[in-house]
Structures are given as C-alpha cells and as structure tokens.
Structure 1
Amino acid sequence: MSTGERHESKDTVFIGKKPIMAYVTSALIQLANNPQVSIKARGLSIGRAVDVAQIIARRTDNSGGYSIGQIKIGSEQLQSLDGRARNVSTIEIEVKKTA
C-alpha cells in the first residue's frame, strides 16, 4: 500500500485514535450493506486494528456472522516533522460475512 495507490472506498475503515468500539460500530454498519470490509491502519494504530477485527469476528462467532479473511502487511515511506523520510508499518485486514 503506497501513498500513490490509495483507493478510498466506502467499504474501508481507517483506524486512528478514537475508542475501539467506534471503529467496531462503523465496520458493522458497513458490513450490513457490503459482503466485506477492509480495516486499515499504520504505525501505532496497528494493534487497535487487530483488536477491531478480533472483536467483530469473536462477538459474532456464535451467530455465524463474520470472519477474518486476507491480511496484508507492508510499509509506507513518510516524511517526519524534521524533514527526514522514515518507514511506517501498515496493515489491512479483511473482515467478511460467513453466511
């Protein structure tokens, strides 16, 4: 996932600094209308993205709801505040309907 190939679409949840349940709710709303949703994060938000995907998959496990699909990891090169280029890790987790 490089900065040049970002495809902003309605079936993507970008993880930031909000509470985890805000992202879980957003993903579940999108999954009500779409067969799958991508959860994307970079840097320190990667752990929060994994938590969001796990909450969705585990909480809906008994009802046959959603499962985790493909997981993509990578890195982006960003410019820091002091002007130097640095690499930042990225993750994209696919969550999809199972039934």
Structure 2
Amino acid sequence: MSRPPNIVFIGKKPILTYLNATLTLLANEPTVTIKARGRSMVTAVDVSQMIVKRMSAMGYTVSGVRIFSERLESNDGKERNVSTIEVDVSKSQNAQ
C-alpha cells in the first residue's frame, strides 16, 4: 500500500522535523495534509498554526480540518477507538 505524496504523518519526532517536511511538500504541492492520531494531534495543530501564523507573508491557510475516530487493534488484542485529525494546509489563491 503506497501512501499519497502530500501527507505528513505526525509521530514522536521533534516538531521542527514535521514543520520542515510540510514546508518542503508545500513547495511542490498545492495542498498538504497533516495527519495525527491520539496524543500527536497537539503537534499536528501546532505545525499547522506555525505555518499559517508565522509564515503569513507566504499566504498559507488552513483549508480544511477533519476529525474522526478509527477502530484499531492494540497490542493486547483489544479493539480501541483512536481519535484522528487531518489538517489541510494550502497556499491561498491570492498569494504571490
């Protein structure tokens, strides 16, 4: 199963890793999706806000947010609901 080229999956690495990955993708893609589960959702929101607020001169905007739960099997074999967030960051149409 191949993953789409415009998704950044958030994990446990430092936030700057995901910030750089998102900005690199935004240089070539019109929209990048930042995706996270569970406790990593905070980092996904932080990355999107750092791009939108601190790089406002570049014209980036949050173009969509989706939240939902996924049913996953844990290591002990039990099924659990895991919260998930997807944040779409795009270059606004009127940006230079």
Both structures adopt the same fold (TM-score exceeding 0.5): yes
Q: Distance in 1 between matches of 2:34 and 2:86?
A: 6
Aligned partner of residue 18 in structure 1, secondary structure: coil
1:37 pairs with 2:32: yes
* 1:46 Cα deviation from its structure 2 partner: 0.4
Per-residue CA deviations over 1:26-52 (Å, capped at 9, x if unaligned) read 000000001110000001100000000
Aligned partner of residue 27 in structure 2, secondary structure: helix
Structure 2: gaps (5+ residues): none
Aligned partner of residue 33 in structure 1, secondary structure: coil
Q: Distance in 1 between matches of 2:70 and 2:88?
A: 19
Q: Distance in 2 between matches of 1:7 and 1:81?
A: 24
Q: Taking structure 2 as the reference length, what is the TM-score of the superposition?
A: 0.91
Matches within 5 A, 1:1-99: 8-61=3-56, 63-98=57-92, 99=95
Q: Distance in 1 between matches of 2:58 and 2:39?
A: 31
* 1:64 Cα deviation from its structure 2 partner: 3.8
Q: Taking structure 1 as the reference length, what is the TM-score of the superposition?
A: 0.89
Q: How many residues align?
A: 93
Structure 1: gaps (5+ residues): 1-5
* 1:76 Cα deviation from its structure 2 partner: 0.7
Question: Which consecutive aligned stretches of 4+ in structure 1 deviate over 6 angstroms post-superposition?
Answer: none
Q: Distance in 2 between matches of 1:26 and 1:82?
A: 33
Identity %: 51
